[in-house]
Amino acid sequence: MASLLEDLERRESAIRERVGELRGQVAELSEQLEAFEEMLAQVEIARLVVREVLDDAAEEPVPRPAAGPGQAGGDSPIGVVTVPDRAAGMDTSVLPAGYRDIMEVLTAAGRPMRSKAVSVAIGRGESPSKVESVRVKLKRLARRGWLTEDSPGLFAVVEHPEGQGSSSRGSSG
């Protein structure tokens, strides 16, 4: 009977030692995971910032030479601001279709919405790439005075009491 107890004690000791080793490995892997998650977050943020800067740069007006003989001027949308700064009396008909869709969803909602909810509402879905492209549009609309972002990630239509610029007064859908 004593040898059975000694055998169990040896097994218990070996198992305790292995448990300690595994706990050490788990702690090390947890530290590595945390470090890689931080790096991933930084790379994601960098990608988003670069995308936003490039999108803004693509919309900056680029001086063009006058159209020469046999050349049509203004055929290329490169360098054209597609989302104008909002001015009094301006309605959503001046916006490209994708931006009008966003404005319609937010106007109908009557409350601030997140980019994922807007993406789903306009039929783009909830995949990260689709939500991100909608977020970029929302940010652009906010920078141009069409939307507000009072809380980070919550976008709402800017109310213009002087003429209700977002009304469908002159909208052609």
- C-alpha 110/C-alpha 132 separation (Å) is 22
Say what the pTM is. 0.51
Q: Residue 154 burial (CB < 10 Å; 0-12/13-18/19+)?
A: middle
Per-residue pLDDT of the chain (173 residues; tens, 9 = 90+): 679 999 999 999 999 999 999 999 999 999 999 999 889 888 888 887 787 777 766 655 545 455 444 444 445 455 556 788 888 888 888 888 889 999 999 999 999 999 999 999 999 998 888 888 899 899 999 999 999 998 888 999 987 655 444 444 343 34
Q: Is there a contact between 82 and 142 (Cβ–Cβ < 8 Å)?
A: no
Q: Measured between alpha carbons, how far apart are the two ends of the chain, in Å? A: 89
Q: Is there a contact between 170 and 100 (Cβ–Cβ < 8 Å)?
A: no
